[in-house]
C-alpha cells in the first residue's frame, strides 16, 4: 500500500451515532428516535431512496461549521434531514468505503449535496454554507439495527492480488 493510500485509509478512532432522524414523508420535519432498523432499501420508517442514496449521514462537527458560516450557533440536524448524525469520525475520508454502523453495513457512495431548499431552511447563504458539509449518502450492504451510541467503524479495505481495490 502506498503512503497516501495508507493515510487515506487510516483513521484515529471509531465514530459514534449521536442522533437518528426519520422523515416519514417527503418534505416533513424529521423526528428523533433512539433506534432504527436498516433494510436493504434504507432506514425503515424513513422516506428515502433505495440504492446509492438509501441512507444519509452527516458529521455532528459540521453542524457548528455551517452555523459559523451563517453567523449563528450550530445548526439543528433536523433542518438538514439526514438519517444518522455521527461524531468523532471524518466521513469525508470514507468515500467508497464500507462502514459498520450498529449491526448494519453501509457503503459510503457520495456526497449528499445540498438542495435549493437550504436557502429557505437556513436563510440567506444557507445553500453555500452547506456546500462540502452536507453529509454523505450510503448504500446498504447488510441490514441490521442501529442505535444512538453505536460505534461507526470503517471496515478494512480488501485488495485483490494485483493491488487494486
Cβ proximity of 70 and 123 under 8 Å: yes
Within a domain: residue 8? yes
pLDDT given for residue 159 in this prediction: 61
Residue 108 to residue 122: CA distance in whole angstroms: 26
Residue 124 covered by a domain: yes
Nearest one of 31, 27, 17, 28 to 104, comparing CA atoms: 17
Q: b or e along 108-135 (b: 16 or more beta carbons within 10 Å of the residue's beta carbon)?
A: bbebbebeeebbebbeeebbebbeebbb
Residues 6+ apart with CB under 8 A from 162: none
Q: Is residue 41 included in any domain, yes or no?
A: yes
Would you state the pLDDT for residue 36?
Answer: 97
In the block, residue with C-alpha cell 459514534: 16
What residues in the chain have per-residue pLDDT under 70? 1-2, 5, 8-9, 11-12, 158-165
pLDDT for res 138: 96
Is 11 inside any structural domain? yes
Residue 15 lies in a domain: yes
Instruction: Count how many residues are written for the chain.
Output: 165
Under 8 Å between Cβ of 55 and 83: yes
CATH of the domain at 9: 2.40.33.20
11, 86 Cβ separation under 8 angstroms:
no
Counted domains in the chain: 1
Domain region containing 97: 3-154
3-state SS assignment for residue 112: coil
Q: Is residue 106 part of a domain?
A: yes
**Is residue 146, in this structure, part of any structural domain at all?**
yes
- CA dist 104 and 126 (Å) reads 32
160 within domain boundaries: no
Amino acid at each position: 500500500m502506498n503512503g497516501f493510500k495508507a493515510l487515506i485509509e487510516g483513521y484515529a478512532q471509531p465514530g459514534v451515532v449521536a442522533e437518528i432522524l426519520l422523515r416519514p414523508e417527503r418534505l416533513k420535519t424529521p423526528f428523533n428516535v433512539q433506534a432504527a432498523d436498516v433494510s436493504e432499501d434504507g432506514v425503515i420508517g424513513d422516506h428515502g431512496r433505495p440504492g446509492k442514496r438509501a441512507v444519509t449521514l452527516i458529521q455532528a462537527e459540521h453542524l457548528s461549521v455551517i452555523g459559523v458560516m451563517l453567523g449563528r450557533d450550530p445548526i439543528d440536524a433536523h433542518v438538514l434531514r439526514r438519517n444518522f448524525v455521527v461524531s468523532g469520525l471524518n466521513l469525508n475520508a470514507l468515500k467508497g468505503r464500507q462502514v459498520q454502523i450498529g449491526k448494519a453495513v453501509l457503503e459510503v457512495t457520495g456526497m449528499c449535496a445540498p438542495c435549493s431548499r437550504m436557502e429557505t431552511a437556513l436563510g440567506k447563504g444557507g445553500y453555500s454554507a452547506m456546500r462540502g458539509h452536507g453529509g454523505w449518502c450510503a448504500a446498504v450492504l447488510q441490514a441490521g439495527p442501529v442505535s444512538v451510541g453505536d460505534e461507526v467503524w470503517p471496515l478494512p479495505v480488501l485488495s485483490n492480488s494485483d493491488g487494486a481495490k
